[in-house]
Structure 1
Amino acid sequence: MSRSTLGIVMNGVTGRMGYRQHLVRSILALREQGGLALPDGTVLWPEPVLVGRNADKLEALAAKHGLSRWTTDLDAALADPANQIYFDAQLTPLREAAVKKAIAAGKHIYVEKPTASSLTGAQELARLADAAGVKHGVVQDKLFLPGLLKLKRLVDGGFFGRILSVRGEFGYWVFEGDWQEAQRPSWNYRAEDGGGIVLDMFPHWQYVLEHIVAPVRSVYAHAATHIPERVDELGKPYQATADDAAYGVFELEGGIVAQINSSWAVRVNREELVEFQVDGTHGSAVAGLRECRFQSRAGTPKPVWNPDIPNTVPFREQWQTVPDNGDFDNGFKIQWELFLKHVALSAPGTPFAHDLWAGAKGVQLAELGLLSAAEGRRVEVPELGRGA
């Protein structure tokens, strides 16, 4: 059995998501399992190069995990021919310039979403990558969550009949940072640093809706900054200039209506931090991060509105649970495996299912959602073709 080493420049791994999900639970997890086996018996061995702006943090991170390769010099990392892939989990405003450098250096590209701060920037990255002949992908991790995989199983099996609507609830209370430390970094609440829940979450809703239900054709959104002042990591108060909640209505292909609330200023009274309910003529389902419950047409109760007597119907108990029927790995790791196999095995010019063009669709929906919120109107979502 031969082993093929694949150098991966990982920029932004000192951040919460870049460290926890991409480095530890994906790349290091692949190394712990002995690498990624290919059909011909070759084993891909990911060799991360940690890149960032803080040398002390990088050195400590590398030492903690037994890694030797780290640098604050992105240009030097990109100049090394042993490094074939560039991964970016930096703040969004820093991403475009770094990805352009990596494309110019001939590296394959894998990035967090949003891929850019604007649709124009996202499309430019996709065009540049295509022109350079490099393979490229964007993280669309929620498609690989166990709950949504089960929901997709129901859709593909025709369980719903004609799908009518989707209802989504996402969010939790992010502490302001004064009497309890905030769970999210302060840049999330500054528009000038690429923050805002619309730019963060609408790209997720775009690919979830398109891949599981149907493409988005229009958006009506209301964005709000419910908590106008927060306290940063150094204990200093700052003005929140970005939206911390968004209430969106999306019309999907086929007349399906999706309503999704996204908020960092909501207390959770549901089973999981995100839940989607899909209703159809033949059945309904509610999917979260891990679980998915369903109710068929034949099993649907017949409630009668009567506010004068206590409710005695155990509505939640009348739903069944979709079985696992298999093992579910970490969603980020699953997509890393798919992209690494794409780099190793696919012919030049073969697009990855979740590439920079797919990422541009997410940026497009966020941009149009913000436009809708600013102008108070429904906005059409034009078809975004490859090379557009």
Structure 2
Amino acid sequence: MTTRTLGVVMNGVTGRMGYRQHLVRSILAINEGGGVAVAGGGRVLLQPVLVGRSESKLREICERHAIKNWTTDLAGALRDPDNHLYFDAQVTSARVGAITRAIEAGKHVYTEKPTAETLAEAVELARLAGESGVRHGVVQDKLFLPGLLKLRRLVDGGFFGRVLSVRGEFGYWVFEGDWQSAQRPSWNYRAEDGGGIALDMFCHWSYVLENLFGRVEAVTARTVTHIAERVDEDGRAYRATADDAAYGIFELEAGVVAQINSSWCVRVHRDELVEFQVDGTHGSAVAGLRGCRIQHRASTPKPVWNPDVPVTHSFRDDWQEVPDNEEFDNGFKVQWEMFVRAVVDGTPFPYDFTAGARGVRLAEAGLRSSAEGRRVELRELREFGEVRTAPAEAL
């Protein structure tokens, strides 16, 4: 068995998501497990090269995890022929320029979403990446959550019959930063820095709905900035210019209607921070991050509305837990392994920049719907087809 090493330029791993999920729980975890198994029986180890603006933060992370290479010079890292992949977890406003430079340098690119702040930019990135012959992929981590994997199993097994509707609730209370520190970075609440929950979460809902129930064809949304002023990481008050809540109705193929509320201004009264209820003619399911409960039509109770008497029936007890039936690895790590295999074996990667552009299109449609107070069909926005990826040689 042969083992080889690929250099991975990682930009933005001083942030919470880039550090915890992508560096520690993906790249370093892959190496600790012996690397990524690829076609032909070989394995691939990943050599991270950390890139960022803060020398002190980069140095501290490298010392903590015995990582050899870090730099504040992105151009130099991209020129290095030993670095084959580029990963981006920066703030959204910095993403397009850096990814463009990586593609022009001939690097395969894997990035957090959204790929861009506007649909036009996202489509141009997809075109550029497709024509260059590099492999390109977008993080779509929620597809690999245990709860949604169980939901996928139910869909594939025909449990629901005909799916009628999907109802999703996502969010939690993000503290304003004054009397308790905020759990999210301040740029999330500044539109000028690429913030906003619609741009963030509608990109997630695009691929979740598309891969489980069908592509979105139209959206009616209302975005709101509930908290007008927040306090940043340095204790300075600032005006929130981005939406912190988005309420959407999504019309899917085959007549499925999805309603999803996304909010950083809601207190949790549910089992998990995100939950989806799917109702079909033959059964229903409620899936969260890890758990999934079902109710078949044969086990459905027959409620009768009567506000004059107290409800004594426990409706939650009528639901059955879906068993794991398998071991679930970290979703970010699983998708990293998929992308590395696509790069090394020269095979297509299903969650590419075109899929990322569809997510940006849904966010843009939702923002337009809210601004204009109307239902927006996605075809009203700039159309784009599947970007054809030029053949890439296996590494």
TM-score by length of 2: 0.96
Match of 1:127 in 2: 127
Letter of the structure 2 residue corresponding to residue 246 of structure 1? A
SS in 1 for 2:187: helix
Mapped to 2, the partners of 1:371 and 1:278 lie a distance apart of 27
Counterpart for residue 156 of structure 2: 156
Q: Which amino acid aligns with 1:375?
A: E
Displacement after TM superposition at 1:248 (Å):
0.1
Measure, in 2, the Cα distance between the counterparts of 1:241 and 1:36: 42
Write the deviation string for residues 204-249 of structure 1: whole angstroms up to 9, x where unpaired: 0000000011110100000000000001111111100000000000
CA distance in 1, matches of 2:155, 2:44: 34
Structure 2 CA distance for aligned equivalents of residues 321 and 335 of structure 1: 26
SS of the equivalent of 1:298 reads helix
CA distance, structure 1, for counterparts of residue 365 and residue 197 of structure 2: 14
* Deviation per residue, 1:234-268 (Å, 9 max, x gap): 11111000000000000111111100000000000
Aligned residue in 2 for 1:327: 327
Structure 1 position 158, deviation (Å): 0.6
**C-alpha distance in structure 1 between counterparts of 2:204 and 2:117, whole Å:** 15
Q: Report the counterpart of residue 181 of structure 1 in structure 2.
A: 181
Deviations 1:69-90 (A, max 9, x none): 0000000000000000000000
Report what 2:317 is aligned to: 317
- Tell me which residue corresponds to 2:353: 356
Aligned equivalents of 1:70, 1:360: Cα separation in 2: 30
Which residue of structure 2 aligns with residue 296 of structure 1? 296
Cα distance in 2 between the residues matched to 1:278 and 1:130: 35
Distance, in Å, in 1 between the alignment partners of 2:114 and 2:18 is 14
Q: Secondary structure at the match of 2:200?
A: helix
Q: CA deviation at 1:346?
A: 2.4
What residue number does 2:393 align with? Answer: none
Answer yes or no: is 1:378 the counterpart of 2:372: no
- Map 1:29-44; keep pairs closer than 5 Å: 29-44=29-44
Count how many residue pairs are aligned between Structure 1 and Structure 2.
Answer: 385
- Counterpart of 2:4, as a letter, is S
CA distance in 2, matches of 1:179, 1:285: 39
User: Partners of 1:186 and 1:253 in 2: how far apart?
Assistant: 37
Where does residue 365 of structure 1 map in the other structure?
Answer: 362
1:384 Cα deviation after fit: 4.0
The equivalent residue for 2:203 is 203
Matched residues in 2 for 1:262 and 1:385: separation? 29
Q: Name 1:225's counterpart in structure 2.
A: 225
SS at match of 2:278: strand
Letter of the structure 2 residue corresponding to residue 275 of structure 1: E
Q: CA deviation at 1:195?
A: 0.3
Aligned amino acid, residue 237 of structure 1? A
Shift of 1:381: 1.2
Q: Partners of 1:384 and 1:224 in 2: how far apart?
A: 29
Q: Give the aligned partner of residue 7 of structure 1.
A: 7
Does the Cα contact within 8 Å between 2:117 and 2:194 map onto a contact in 1? yes
CA distance in 1, matches of 2:16, 2:238: 21
| CA apart distance, 1:150 | 0.2
Q: Which amino acid aligns with 1:345?
A: D
Q: Tell me the CA shift for residue 38 of structure 1.
A: 2.1
SS of the residue 1:254 aligns to? helix
CA distance in 2, matches of 1:254, 1:41: 42
Q: Which ranges of structure 1 fall in alignment gaps of 5 or more residues?
A: none
Q: Which amino acid aligns with 1:371?
A: R
Deviation track 1:311-339 (CA, whole Å, cap 9, x = no partner) reads: 11110111001110000000100100000
2:115 corresponds to 1:115: yes
CA displacement at 1:132 relative to structure 2:
1.1
Q: Which residue of 1 aligns with 2:277?
A: 277
Aligned counterparts of 1:35 and 1:257: Cα–Cα separation in 2: 42
How many angstroms apart in 2 are the aligned matches of 1:143 and 1:38? 22
Residue number in structure 2 paired with 1:19: 19
Matches of 1:286 and 1:122, distance apart in 2: 33
Unaligned runs of 5+ in 2: 389-395
Aligned counterparts of 1:295 and 1:387: Cα–Cα separation in 2: 40
Within 2, Cα distance between the matches of 1:146 and 1:255?
27
SS at match of 2:103: helix
Amino acid at match of 1:314: S
Q: Matched residues in 1 for 2:39 and 2:236: separation? A: 54
**Superposition pairs of residues 49-64 of structure 1, within 5 angstroms:** 49-64=49-64
**Counterpart contact for 2:12–2:52, Cα < 8 Å:** yes
Deviations, residues 98-120 of structure 1 (Å, cap 9, x unaligned)? 00100000000100000001011
The list of structure 1 runs, each at least 4 consecutive aligned residues, that deviate by more than 3 angstroms after superposition, is none
Counterpart CA distance in 2 for 1:219 and 1:41 is 46
Aligned residues of 2:39 and 2:345 also touching (Cα < 8 A): no
Following TM superposition, by how much is the alpha carbon of 1:385 offset from its aligned partner in structure 2, in angstroms? 1.7
1:167, CA displacement in angstroms? 0.1
Letter matched to residue 354 of structure 2 = W
Shift of 1:126: 0.8
Alignment TM-score, normalising by the size of structure 1: 0.98
Q: CA deviation at 1:39?
A: 3.7
**Residue 40 of structure 1: how far off its partner (Å):** 1.8
